[in-house]
Chains A and B, each alone.
Chain A
Amino acid sequence: QSALTQPPSASGSPGQSVTISCTGTSSDVGFYNYVSWYQQYPGKAPKLMIYEVSKRPSGVPDRFSGSKSGNTASLTVSGLQTEDEADYYCTSYAGSNNLVFGGGTKLTVL
């Protein structure tokens, strides 16, 4: 399986909204509703922010939302805060008990 495609970087000012895309194929993102998003700070383990396309685990602020259209999933961060500056990774189920990650997006809060 090929990695999902994410933009290497994204940025926004505090209070603004930013959307990070995650493009796969009709065999992964486009076929299954098992897309997750992770936030990772340098030197730390990833943290689950969104699962099953748009569901938020307990404790994740509702400023984080997920969606999907066709082969592309998206993570939107509304009301950007300085602590949102981190790397973000998407994953998708790819069938046959396989998972694929995106290449990651570095979010900068200007």
Chain B
Amino acid sequence: QVHLVQSGPEVQKPGASVKVSCKASGYTFTNDAITWVRQAPGQGLEWLGWISPHNSKTNSAQNLHGRVTMTTDTSTGTAYVEVRSLTTDDTAIYYCARGGVLTGYESWGQGTLVTVSS
């Protein structure tokens, strides 16, 4: 059974960075991409980007202006997303999901609340 378990809630100040983790189990980690999606309070879902654990190829949404970095650690089966230069607009629940841009996402992490506040 596929499980994606994310790290706990974070509170950060504007201008800081945050790194959220997503530990995968129940499948071969390098076989599928990991996608990151976020949802601001009361808002819709926003695609952040994806990474292939197999070759570390990534692509991020253009509107993030290079503030997002996605990485993986194949030794532990864990994916990470780091968001830099945080603003209050980055306050959201961050989700990881198994799959790339063509596949639907059947498996999701439980979500990580990131709060940006001074």
Give the docked Cα–Cα distance between A34 and B108 (Å): 19
Residue-wise, chain A 78-110 has the 8 Å CB interface mask toward B (1 for contact) of: 000000000001010100111111111000000
Q: How many residues of B contact A (CB 8 A)?
A: 22
State which size class the interface on A falls in: 20 to 34
Main SS of the interface on chain B?
Answer: loop
Once A and B bind, how many residue pairs between them come within 8 Å at the CB atom?
59
Q: Verify if A50 is at the interface (C-beta below 8 Å from B).
A: yes
Residues of B with C-beta under 8 A to A1: 61-62
Residues on A close to B: CB < 8 A?
1, 3, 34, 36, 38, 40, 45-48, 50-52, 57, 89, 91, 93, 96-104
Residues on B close to A: CB < 8 A?
35, 37, 44-47, 50, 59, 61-62, 95, 100-106, 108-111
16 pairs of residues in contact across A and B, judged by CB atoms under 8 Å: A34-B101, A34-B102, A36-B105, A38-B105, A45-B95, A45-B109, A45-B110, A50-B104, A89-B45, A93-B101, A96-B59, A98-B59, A99-B35, A99-B50, A100-B47, A104-B44
